[in-house]
Every structure is written in C-alpha cells, then in structure tokens.
Amino acid sequence: MQNIIFSREFRKLRKQRGLSQYELANPHFHASYISKIENGEFIPSVEKLAFLSERLGVSLDIFHSFLVTEEEIEFKNNIVKLRNYINGGNRADAEFKLAQLKKDEEYEKRLIHKQEIIMLEALLFKKAGKPYEYKLTEAIEINIPNFQIENIEDYSLTTIDTEIITLMISAIEEKGRLSYAISLFYKLNDCFDTQYTDFKLIAYMKPFLTTKLVSLLFKNGEYEKVIELSNNAINLEVKNKYIRSTPWLNYNKANALYELGHKNAAKETMVEAFYNFKTLKDQTMTERIKKELLEKHNINIENFY
C-alpha cells in the first residue's frame, strides 16, 4: 500500500517539475531506477531520496509525507473536517478539531501536514478578527526558510505553499496595497506556466488563483481584464470538469459586465452564477446574488424561467 501511494505521488511530483525520468536520474542513476520507483517496486533509501529531493527542489520531508499509514489517513481526514468547519463558519467545532489535531503525534511527525494545519489556524484567526499573518509566515517557512514574498518566482511551490501565499497577498491588499497585491498575484499565476507541467494540477489551482486576482482587478476598475481572465479560467475548468472556481469567476465577470454597461450579458452571467452557487449549496452566495439581481436587474430569480 505504501509503495503504491509513494510511487503515485513521486511520479506526480516529477511531472510537476517537468523532468523526464532520465533528467531526474542523471548523473547518479539510470532512468530505469526512476521507472522502478514509479512502478511501486521499492522505496529508495534516505540517502538516495536526499539526492532526488535536491534534484526536484523539495525538502526531504515531502517524501516522508508520501508514506501513508492508516493513522495518517485518519489524520488527513480530520484535516479535511477542520477545513470544512472553518469554511462553514463553525468556529467552535473548528477550534475543537484544531486543538485535537495539534495534540496528535502525527502533527510533529509530518511537516507537510503541520504546515497545512498552521495555515488553517491562520485562516481561523482571520475569520475571528485576530492577528494571523505571523501564522502564515510560520507555515510557509516550514517548507521555504527565509521566504521573501517578492521573490515568489524563485521558489518551487507546493499546493499548500500556494494557498499560504494567496492568504499573504490578501493580507497585503487588506492593508491598502492593492497594486502591489495585484502584481504579486500575477507573479504567482505565472509560476504555473513556468514551474508546472502537470495539467491536472494547473486545471485545479490556476482558476483558484485567477479568482483571487480578478477580485482585486475588479476593485482596481480593470473590468475588461476581469472578463478576459475569468473566461480563460472558466474554460479551463469546463474542459477538466471542475466547478471549484467557476461560481466566483462568473460572479466577478457579471459585475464587470455590469460596470461596462453590458446589462443583458451581466444579467445572464449573474443568473448562471446563482445556479452555480446553488449547485454547491452555498446559501450565503445564492441569497446575495438573489438580492443583487432584484436591485440591479429587477429580477426575482425564483420566477426567472
């Protein structure tokens, strides 16, 4: 079981870095050595993993995270529960689950999980109106010591790194540095064009980043850019059968169309956003859009069709 999970994650990491088996193996190993790892025939020794981690530009702890036990599976499931509690606004349950996870021995054992939990703790602090940026710094420096946000393009980023940096940029925008925040989101977005070749990962993460970027572009009055980037990201999600970011992209696109005077297109796109959020059972956003449709377009969505 461990070999299968390790081989799958190892292959995924190699492809994300755009390396062939030969390029990763050279000069210490033959390409067949990498092939055997990816076929689940064995797990390399710590010494050999140290070389491979350097070639891939990741910490050795990343490889340890690929060795999954039953205890870790349960721990990961509890992280998902914590994330859901935070996103659902269940603060009491989130705080209880957070305390429970931090007492678990897996917390110190697996740094990649520790990083995610500290990031979620920061998000919980943010939602509670508490200082949270120091927690984001603590989280990012688990994988990237002495991290400097202006040098995003110099780092090999994991998906958790990307989530953390997204929150850091949002904190910068909250302090009134909108233009700087936008420039950082462009840099982060560009990382997916230069660092990653795993198309599934790009299809999953890039629309998420675009959502964050277009919300700032809208605040900055760059409405045509909002529409262009939203369309590109929506097409990427549709192609890969995701709807993770499409509701928010449609929402921002509809508002940009409205500001540009394209009222009919704005109305149709906002209705589409309404049904996107309804599919996701997001009651808060469906109610918000219902109100906006009535105020801006004089539409009662319940009687629209």
Domain-located, residue 57: yes
Domain-located, residue 21: yes
Q: Which of 1-10, 46-55, 222-231, 262-271 has the lowest mean pLDDT?
A: 1-10
Interatomic CA distance for residues 266 and 252, integer angstroms:
10
Confidence of residue 305 (pLDDT cuts 50, 70, 90): low
Q: Total domain count for the chain?
A: 1
Domain-located, residue 286: no
Q: Are 240 and 205 in contact (CB under 8 A)?
A: no
Per-residue model confidence as pLDDT tens digits over 75-109: 888 999 999 899 888 999 999 999 999 988 777 77
Per-residue model confidence as pLDDT tens digits over 196-217: 545 556 777 788 889 999 999 9
Domain-located, residue 123: no
More confident residue, 195 or 158: 158
Nearest to 180 by CA among 145, 142, 212, 150: 150
Domain-located, residue 131: no
H or E element that contains 82: helix 70-87
Look up residue 302 and give its DSSP letter. G
Mean pLDDT (whole number) for 182-205: 75
% of the chain at pLDDT higher than 90: 49
pTM: 0.72
Quote the pLDDT of residue 191: 79
Domain-located, residue 291: no
Interatomic CA distance for residues 296 and 163, integer angstroms:
34
Interatomic CA distance for residues 106 and 296, integer angstroms:
51
Mean pLDDT (whole number) for 129-135: 95
**Could you tell me the two tokens for 209?**
């980043």
Confidence of residue 134 (pLDDT cuts 50, 70, 90): very high
Collapsing DSSP to helix, strand or coil, 51 comes out as helix
> What's the CATH number where 49 sits?
1.10.260.40
Quote the pLDDT of residue 266: 96
Q: Which domain holds residue 44?
A: 2-64
Confidence of residue 131 (pLDDT cuts 50, 70, 90): very high
Domain-located, residue 42: yes
% of the chain at pLDDT higher than 70: 93
- Helical axes 199-219 vs 178-194, angle rounded to 10°: 160
Quote the pLDDT of residue 28: 85
